[in-house]
Amino acid sequence: MPDSKPNKGNKAVNIVIVLCVVFAYAVIQHFMESSPGSLGLAQWFNSKNIMAEHHQKLIAKVERDPHFKNLDQERFVKEMERIITMNHKRDLGGWVAYKSFTPNVKGQFVSTNDFGMRSKLSLRAMAEKARANKSNGIKNIILLGGSVAFGYGATGDEQSIAAVLNQHLDSERYEVFNLAQGGFTSFMDLFSLSSIAWHLEPDIVILLEGYADSYHLAYESKGGQLAWGLWSGKEEEAEERFAFDFQYHNLEAICKLAAPPDRRVILALQPLSGFANDSAVEKEEIEKIYGYYPKIRKLFQSVAQKNDAEFLDLSTLFENESGANINFFDKAHLTDTGQEKVAKALAQSVAALQDPPVDPFQLRQQALSDILN
């Protein structure tokens, strides 16, 4: 009769190996899920896939855009991925509110300050410069919005909307400060205005939005974002009404915080590829938004009209052009050409604004002088 002990020994070894593998997996899973800011193992693998897919898409966008023809495309892609991934501390599919882009990036194509804003100045230096502007009679313009307003898609800082807007305006009368961040919605713009922008003594507040809020109406939210994730998805009519009501309140609060007529507010609805233009750039990815965008336009118009703000419809900016592809880096972000045209339209809107009857900065300074003296 054959000796069965070796077989029993092999089975025991196999069982031990399996148990060790299971235990090791459980330990790794527990460590990754319990570590602050980390991902679960499944999410980690999914993150790698998302990042690889995003990398390929970004390369395709750069290769498609003629503005990058003679530039270091590989370096541009690396810099963009660096600001989006928080120096690889989060995956590209995640959602980080309020401080969405990596701070303190000093690249060839993009610069961010200590708050992740597109500026070579720290937030403190921006505030000091804005205060000096007020004393010298220079009006401070605050640009709020998401990655479109940030200037994602531009070949450099000087080609971004804010920088080009500065170039179009009289430097002895205006200076633009870009507070936009990637992924911001109207809710986050409201937060930025109420907590950060006041330190920059704004005379004019420009909100350039439309895509981010519309996206969550047309497509399923994947990040569990505030407000858009509050509904189950079963009550679509109620969800749509809530979403529009939420956005209306955000825009209205921005207008009221900016307090016309002491300050001026411009609500600008951004252009989209394929909406009111012949661009075919990634239009298949956002076609569901087209049905909501006329309603978003009416919402912007209504808020502006009822709150003494200016409405600027940039969604039709390229409608009379033949070959509008040249304006779009992707479905929503703009090329250098598109950013130049948007900045020019904003400059014309700023120039048409009437000065407020009172200057809150001067009134406050006078009040402080009276108190301290």
The reply to whether 51 falls in a domain is no
Q: Is residue 28 helix, strand or coil?
A: helix
Residue 16 counted as domain residue: no
C-alpha separations of 13 from 3, 16, 25 in Å: 17, 5, 18
Beta bridge partners of 3: none
The pLDDT of residue 342 is: 99
Task: Return the pLDDT at 44.
Answer: 53
Place of tokens 């938004």: 289
Q: Which two tokens stand for residue 135?
A: 């004393």
Instruction: Please tell me the distance from the alpha carbon of residue 304 to that of residue 297, in angstroms, as a whole number.
Output: 11
pLDDT at residue 258, rounded to an integer: 87
pLDDT for res 230: 38
In this structure, the chain runs to a length of 373
The b-or-e profile of 258-285 (16+ CB within 10 A means b, else e) is beeeebbbbbbbbbbbbbbbebebbbee
Do the beta carbons of residue 95 and residue 188 sit within 8 Å? Answer: no
Q: Would you state the structure tokens that stand for residue 340, as one six-digit string?
A: 């130049």
- pLDDT at position 37 is 46
5, part of any domain: no
pLDDT of residue 92: 52
Residue numbers in the chain where pLDDT is lower than 50 = 32-39, 93-98, 221-235
Residue 269 within any structural domain of the chain: yes
Place of tokens 């990754």: 32
Tell me how far CA of residue 233 lies from CA of 8, 217, 230, 238, 360, in angstroms: 55, 11, 9, 9, 45
User: So what's the pLDDT on residue 259?
Assistant: 73
Report yes or no on 309 lying in a domain: yes
The structure's pTM equals: 0.80
pLDDT at 362: 67
Q: Which pLDDT does position 302 carry in this prediction?
A: 97
Q: Supply the CATH number for residue 201's domain.
A: 3.40.50.1110
pLDDT in tens, 239-296: 788 889 999 999 999 999 987 667 999 999 999 999 999 999 999 999 999 999 999 9
Whether residue 20 is contained in a domain is answered as: no
CA distances from 18 to 6, 13, 15, 22, 29 (A): 18, 9, 5, 6, 16
Residue 3 inside a domain? The answer is no
Q: How many domains does the chain have?
A: 1
Calpha distance 164→172 (Å, rounded) = 16
Note whether residue 85 is domain-resident. yes
Domain extent at residue 218:
59-364
